[in-house]
Structure formats: C-alpha cells, structure tokens
Amino acid sequence: MRRGEAAVAGVILEHSELNRILAHVAGQARLWVATGEGEEAAFLPYRPGIPLRRGPGPTRRTAKEIFFPRTEALFTFHEADGKPRLEPAKVDDGPLVVFGLRPCDARALCLLDPVFEDPLWPDRLYGGRRARAILVGMACSQPSRACFCTSVGGDPAGEEGLDVILVALDDAYLARATTDRGAEWLEGLGFSPAPPEAEAAAARVAETARRALAAVPADGLKERLDGRFEHPVWDRLHERCLGCAACTYLCPTCHCFDIVDEGGPGEGVRLRNWDSCMFALFTLHASGHNPRMTGKERMRQRIMHKFNYYPERQGRPACVGCGRCVEICPVNLDLRQVIAELEGVEA
Ligand code: SF4
Ligand code: SF4
C-alpha cells in the first residue's frame, strides 16, 4: 500500500489515551502537533500535555513550515589555507511525525513535492524531511467559513499524502492507516479494532463536513485562463490589494523564496528565506527593470500560477481550498470571489 491508496480497517483510539500515545511517539520520533486555536493555531514541537487542536478548519499556520522552513541555512562557507570551503547544511535524520494536520495540508505537501523533488534538481533538505515523515491527519469535522476544498479536488476526509487518518467521533478517534508505513506505525501503538458502527459514524462526520463547505466555480478554470494574460479583468481584480503578502505566507502551496548570504570576510552562511510574488521587490532586476511593475501584474501572477501555470505542468491547481488567504486578507480580497469573477471571463 502506498500513500493515497485504499484504507485498511480502522482502530479505535480513546480520547483519554491521546496524551499517552503522543508521549510514546515523542519518545521515538521528532513529533510536531497541531495545537492552539484561532490565530494561534500552528504545528509546534511536542511537549507533555500539549493540547491537540480541534478546529474548525485548518491551523492558521501550515505544516509546510516543517518541511520548508521560513528561513534555513543551505550551507556555510569559510576560508581555509587561502581556499574557499563549503560545508553543506546537515540533512535531518531520524524519524519525524506530524500529528493532526488536515487533509488539505497533506495534499498541499503533495503539490509542493514536484517543485522541491524535481529529479534534475532534488532539494535534499526538503526531500530528506519528506522521506522520513509519517503524516497523521485529522479529518475535518467542521470546516471554517472560508474552506472550499471539494471545489479544487480535495475532501474533508481526504487521504492523499497521509499515512494515517483520524476521524473524531464523540468519545474516541477512528484511526485508519492509508500506507504500509502508517499501518506499521499504528500497529506499534496497540489500539483496539474499530467496531463497524465507528466506520459508519466516521462516514457521517465526513458527509456533514462536505455539506458545510462553500462551493466555488473552479472547474475548468485552467482552460478559462488560457490566453487571458492580457484580459481586462486583471485591471480591476488587484485594486484593493495592499501587497502585504499575508495570503502567500499562509498559503500551504506557495513556495517563493529568496537566497541571501550573511557573514563577514572569510566566512558566512547562505540562507533560503520565504519570499512572495506579491512583493514588488521579488522581481526587481539589478538593472532597475521590474517585469511585474504594479499590483496588477503581481495579482495576475499569483492567480495564474495557481490556476493556469501549475495545472499546465502538474494537471491540477496549486490550491487546496484551505481558505487561509480568505481569512487573513486585511482588505477582504476573497479568492472565492476572484474565482467567481474569473468564471465569467470571455476572450
Ligand atoms: S490559495 Fe488560499 S485557499 Fe488556496 S491553498 Fe493557498 S491559502 Fe489555501
Ligand atoms: S493578503 Fe490581501 S492585501 Fe495582502 S497581498 Fe494578499 S490579496 Fe493583497
């Protein structure tokens, strides 16, 4: 069984057992847990008694940060015997478990994989973390008001990218392995097999969540955007945008970065830092020319990349409908409305 293949029969994890299980896992692996509520919700390293986040929707900060940190050293450099020396950053080793991520966040990592794991230029830091991670997801029982995952190919109980999926029932979780690695991990924890009524209850939870989701007309958006680079719709879509880039920093699929060197004569470090296509400086050339001079070009880039260029290469949009960009935007520039406006775009 590989990631995303059919699930095996579930097991039951009592709510009261959760702390014991997390402590056990933390003894064997580096463990990140979805915790906190509202704007504080994020993935944090395990500590005893850490409360597991319940919802609604996804965490404010994404699981992307674990695999593609906001800032990280690529290598250090120094001079020895009059010659420059490079010391590559150490690739993390040892098992890693991410606990409690939503299906949209796991799917977002699958969308980042082709970017960082291109066979010609594999990113050993990202790839090293991905290869050793077990992702234990938590199905969405209550989407946020901004979620629209089913409109872009996702599902509140989707399994893509996960090794194990948990569904919160009244007093327990139904846990189901979706990969061999997940099955092995679950076996090691010694849960009891789930009764048939637990599977039925989990299916009801997922169906209730699906019904609560917003529907966004994203079907066929890639084709509608083909050849619309110069369309007048771009003249108005960006008008309210402040260019703050909050939408892209919180997006689980955005992956722009910048490279900087820090240090002094004879030694230093090369860092990779998150950046954003919504900043004017991102595309400013040393010559002074900027191919994305105004907010119009930058907004067009963000939308076209997610819904036209990425689908052209990978066959699906670079958006998982998590709604974070909708919730964070200080001027209520709602991606769902942008998509709806683009529905009416004609040549
Ligand atoms: S574009 Fe918005 S809704 Fe889509 S994945 Fe990014 S943050 Fe989520
Ligand atoms: S969060 Fe809103 S205002 Fe800020 S860059 Fe994104 S769309 Fe523009």
Q: Residue 143 in contact with residue 209, Cβ under 8 Å?
A: yes
Model confidence pLDDT, tens digit, residues 115-161 = 999 999 899 999 999 999 999 999 999 999 999 999 999 999 999 99
Q: Residue 241 in contact with residue 40, Cβ under 8 Å?
A: no
What is the structure's pLDDT at 69? 97
d(CA 128, CA 145): 35
Model confidence pLDDT, tens digit, residues 253-293 = 999 999 999 998 889 999 999 999 999 999 999 999 999 99
Ligand 1 neighbourhood includes 252 CB (under 6 angstroms): yes
What are the angstrom distances between the C-alpha of 170 and each of 173, 213, 256? 8, 21, 41
What are the angstrom distances between the C-alpha of 156 and each of 101, 109, 246? 11, 16, 24
pTM of the predicted model, to two decimals? 0.94
Share of the chain above pLDDT 70, in %: 97
Q: How many helices (H) and strands (E) does the chain have?
A: 13, 12
Ligand 1 neighbourhood includes 323 CB (under 6 angstroms): yes
Distance (angstroms) between ligand 1 centre and the Cα of 203 equals: 26
What is the structure's pLDDT at 8? 55
Model confidence pLDDT, tens digit, residues 85-119 = 999 999 888 999 999 999 999 999 999 999 999 99
Ligand 2 neighbourhood includes 22 CB (under 6 angstroms): no
Atom number, ligand 1, closest to the C-alpha of residue 322: 8
d(CA 26, CA 228): 50
pLDDT at 176 over 80: yes
Ligand 1 neighbourhood includes 303 CB (under 6 angstroms): no
Atom 8 (ligand 2): residue with closest C-alpha?
241
> Of all helices (H) and strands (E), which one includes residue 273?
strand 267-274
Atom number, ligand 2, closest to the C-alpha of residue 240: 3
- List, in order, residues 6 or more apart from 53 with CB less than 8 Å away: 34, 35, 36, 37, 41, 59, 100
Other C-beta atoms lying within 10 Å of the C-beta of residue 291: 9
Atom 6 (ligand 2): residue with closest C-alpha?
247
More reliable by pLDDT, 7 or 205? 205
CA angle 291–247–278, rounded 5-degree value:
10
- List, in order, residues 6 or more apart from 188 with CB less than 8 Å away: none
* 8-state DSSP, 307: I
Q: Residue 218 in contact with residue 301, Cβ under 8 Å?
A: no
Atom number, ligand 1, closest to the C-alpha of residue 323: 3
Ligand 1 neighbourhood includes 100 CB (under 6 angstroms): no
Distance (angstroms) between ligand 1 centre and the Cα of 320 equals: 6
pLDDT at 214 over 60: yes
What are the angstrom distances between the C-alpha of 215 and each of 57, 132, 211, 248, 338? 15, 35, 10, 22, 13
- List, in order, residues 6 or more apart from 255 with CB less than 8 Å away: 64, 68, 112, 115, 116
- Ligand lying closest to the C-alpha of residue 329: 2
What is the structure's pLDDT at 347? 54
Ligand 2 neighbourhood includes 206 CB (under 6 angstroms): no
Give the DSSP per-residue string, 196-220: HHHHHHHHHHHHHHHHHS-----TT
Q: Residue 307 in contact with residue 298, Cβ under 8 Å?
A: no
d(CA 190, CA 172): 15
Distance (angstroms) between ligand 1 centre and the Cα of 162 equals: 19
Q: Residue 35 in contact with residue 53, Cβ under 8 Å?
A: yes
Distance (angstroms) between ligand 1 centre and the Cα of 254 equals: 8
Distance (angstroms) between ligand 2 centre and the Cα of 246 equals: 6
Ligand 1 neighbourhood includes 143 CB (under 6 angstroms): no
